[in-house]
Amino acid sequence: MLKDPFLRAHRYLSSNRFISLAGDITPISVRDQSLRGYLAVRRCIDGELIEKSKQDPSPLVIVGAGVAGATAAIVASKHGIPVILYERYSAAFKTMADVRTRSLDYRQYEWPRAGWRRMHDDEGANLPFTFTQHKASTIVGSWEGVLKKEISDSKTISGRGIIDFQTDSEIYLDEEQLSSGSDHDSVSYCVGENGTPHEAQIILWCVGFGVEKNTITVNKDTVYTSSKYWSNDKYDLIYKNQGKSAKVLITGGGDGSLQDFLRIATGSETAKDLYQRLNINGFIEPALRAELLSIEMDAQRAFRWSADEKKVRKYHDAPILQYLMKRYVEWCRAILNDQIPGSKSLREVLRTILAPSPRVFIASHKPYFDFCYPLNRFLATLICEYVAHYSDGVWNDAKIANPFIACAEIVGVNPKDPPPDYNPANLGSCEEYWHQVDFEDTIGKWPLATRDYPLPTREHSIFKPIIVRHGIKTEKLKCFRHASKTDMIQARKRHLLPGVAFESMVIS
């Protein structure tokens, strides 16, 4: 029986030899992914699931050369474990490697913890990779150099396990073996569906979170396609060049949609940059962080007992997320109403930032922002409340009461004056043209929800562009031998990982 709680939380199927760091798990910042890769290897070694004492041990197989998989490979190698690192694409870190329009900064995900802004860029130095704020392509460039050196060192330094890095490799699993029970000394896999089966001590599945859902479908037909989150989009140009002439709709209520909302509405590269521009200081800053940290901690304690079933999520998660939304709204209104000392100048700063900006709206079929990092939730709520109640006309010409269009299911998207070659499945066809959007009210589907703002009229529901952030669809395992019945559920998908302050204690 697998005793280690970290490995049990990440176990897939019923095998102790298949550990998944992929799929619908949280949190998912790049630092969190790297930490998971480290902990998975160390826990396997400490639990004697990986044996390096054998004369010719079977390798640790790691599938996926993103930051989690690459971290795991380097850590295993330094502990004398031979590794085969498989990657389906032609290079490591492929998802972010060429993205020059999106910045990364793991520190913003630590807010509202004390000292979050004072964290240094090298504070994750106990991990193989550092996470300095830069454009994604720049950060990945530094990671590629680290991985290349570690692969070279693994072949020349005594005592290191060799890292065999194989690209363009699609891995297939023996589902029947994985689902038959936990009493195996190794696990089988093959490269390609008809490849020769191989044996591994452990398979660490680090293939990412799945396929991004960036299309709108109506009656199973694709009616709109937007740029993917990890792509070289043109959204920075909306703020710089289009200004008030743009009317942007972002669909979805998670981190992806909130980050693009903040980015386009304010021209800030990251949420941390916007927070600094707002100059939230004095009494308001520590009081705000302390209160929201308490609220978030209460929510996290409740979320840990949720489940994947839709009914459970609706009746367990929905009230918690509605409570979070309510408390964030209360705090934002208190700040904007000058009820907290030091908050008076904030409205003036917001007006300076938003007055020349594009009009940006978030539409979700839910009555709240979904699972997201606290800083994204706070800043998006603050802007929505400011525009709705305190802006003195900012964005009023859009004729939409609140930038957050809650409980609004999109049931129609139609281009205005499209060209003859218009194709809703083609990105270039969609984002260049105005579209009429039809909303359906979903408030009756959500317990405890109330309609505080009317849905936009059809006359005022015309947008350009529409940005689709509908989350991730988890990819199914590819198998060369299938089981008749399979348990495909991870033990737990929502995790509380060690914070940066404790990193040196859990990483040696």
Q: For 21-31, what is each residue's pLDDT tens digit?
A: 987 777 788 88
Q: Return the pLDDT at 310.
A: 62
Cα(97)–Cα(110) distance, rounded to whole angstroms? Answer: 24
C-beta separation of 358 from 264 below 8 A = yes
* Helix runs in 93-135, H state only: 94-97
Query: Topology of 5-210+475-506 in CATH?
Result: FAD/NAD(P)-binding domain (3.50.50)
> Is pLDDT at 121 greater than 50 in this prediction?
no
* Residue 347 predicted with pLDDT over 80: yes
Report, as an integer, the average pLDDT of 248-270: 95
Question: Region 397-423: what's the mean pLDDT?
Answer: 91
- State the span(s) of the chain assigned CATH 3.50.50.60: 5-210+475-506
**What are the residues whose beta carbons fall under 8 Å from the beta carbon of 490, sequence distance 6 or more?**
9, 10, 11, 12, 20, 23, 25
Q: Beta strands 211-212 and 408-415: pairing type?
A: unpaired
* pLDDT given for residue 181 in this prediction: 65
Kindly indicate the confidence band of residue 55, based on its pLDDT and cuts at 50, 70 and 90. low
Tokens of 28: 């998912």
Sheet with 466-468, side-by-side order of all strands: 404-405, 359-363, 247-251, 466-468
Q: Tell me which amino acid residue 361 is.
A: F
Q: How far is CA 494 from CA 146, 308, 454, 497, in A?
A: 30, 11, 34, 10
pLDDT in tens, 294-319: 998 888 887 766 665 566 666 778 88
The whole-angstrom separation of Cα 466 and Cα 257 is 11
- CB neighbour burial string for 311-331, b if at least 16 within 10 angstroms, e if fewer: eeeeeebbbbbbbbbebbbeb
Q: What is the mean pLDDT of residues 488-497?
A: 57
Least confident interval from 132-146, 222-236, 346-360, 482-496: 482-496
Give the integer Cα–Cα distance in Å for 367 and 289.
24
Does residue 265 carry a pLDDT above 60?
A: yes
Q: What is the dihedral of CA 180, 183, 188, 193, to 10 degrees?
A: 10
Whole-number pLDDT of residue 318: 86
What's the first-to-final CA gap in the chain, in angstroms?
27
- Distance CA(252)–CA(362), nearest Å, equals 7
Which segments of 227-373 does DSSP mark as H helices, in order?
235-237, 255-266, 271-278, 284-303, 310-312, 318-336, 346-354
Lowest-confidence pick of 49-63, 339-353, 415-429, 454-468:
49-63
Mean predicted confidence (pLDDT) in 232-236: 91
- Choose among 369, 356, 282, 276: nearest CA to 318: 369
Q: What is the pLDDT of residues 153-166, one digit of tens each?
A: 999 999 999 999 99
As a whole number of angstroms, the distance between CA 401 and CA 420 comes to 35
The SS3 call for residue 104 is strand
Rounded to the nearest 10°, the torsion over CA 138, 119, 79, 65 is -30
pTM recorded for the entire structure? 0.91
> What gap in Å lies between CA 307 and CA 494, rounded to an integer?
10
Give me the pLDDT at residue 327, please: 94
Percent of the chain, pLDDT > 90?
Answer: 50
